[in-house]
Amino acid sequence: MNNWCTTDYVFEGDLQSVQKLSRALVKLLKQDRGEMTDDLTTHSDWVGYIAREMLKMDVAADDCDGTFFCIEDEMITENGDKSAVTFFTSTAWDDENAAFAALAKKYNLKMYYLAFEPTAHIFESNDGSRRHFQQKFFLETPKGGELFKTEKEVFAKLTELTGETPRKNEPAADFCKRLSTEAKVFTLLACKTVKDEVEG
């Protein structure tokens, strides 16, 4: 059984390149794939279509296992001379960054991402400046999981759930361990920063 990795992507650059990529992604999503017989490829949101049709890569139906999606009206943002297109993927086990780095290169854009798969302890981003992705912590509690920007927010949530307060200078990860029992487990993942943006 696959564990699903959710990845948010931001491709940043000049408006014309951003618009070209946005139009290409929306076109893929709107294509009728009803003639396909494979369980994966009948869906227009299969990640493999990005590899096959936009990048001309030879991928089998069981490669690039996952989907991509976007909110069409909110895909493009403009900030001065820089624009960005945002979309999301859900893929088996880990991200598909190799394909998306090739996409960034094709459209001459910079790629930033935040990948998240807590079961495999994957929580990483290449956005070292935190310009696009501010989330630094993922807290898993008996009530579910939640992302946080600061350790202070993590402490507040733990105190809200347990009534306990951290000791002086106690790291949030240690606080989680102290609160955990066999019946109630609190797990904290800190976002790992990998090499900075992938340039197109």
Report yes or no on whether pTM surpasses 0.75: yes
Instruction: Give the count of domains, the chain.
Output: 2
Q: Do residues 120 and 147 both lie within one domain?
A: no
Q: Do residues 105 and 146 both lie within one domain?
A: no
Please, which contacts does 139-147 make with residues 24 or more away whose CB atoms are closer than 8 Å? Answer: 139/176, 139/186, 139/187, 139/188, 140/185, 140/186, 140/187, 140/188, 140/189, 141/184, 141/186, 142/184, 142/185, 142/186, 145/118, 147/116
Residue 180 lies in a domain: yes
Residue 200 lies in a domain: no
Identify the band that residue 77 occupies on the pLDDT scale cut at 50, 70 and 90: confident
Q: Do residues 105 and 161 both lie within one domain?
A: no
Q: Do residues 38 and 90 both lie within one domain?
A: yes
Domain with 95, as residue range(s), is 4-126
Q: Supply the pLDDT for residue 36.
A: 64
What mean pLDDT is predicted for residues 163-191? 95
Write the pLDDT tens digit of every residue in 15-34: 999 999 999 999 988 887 77
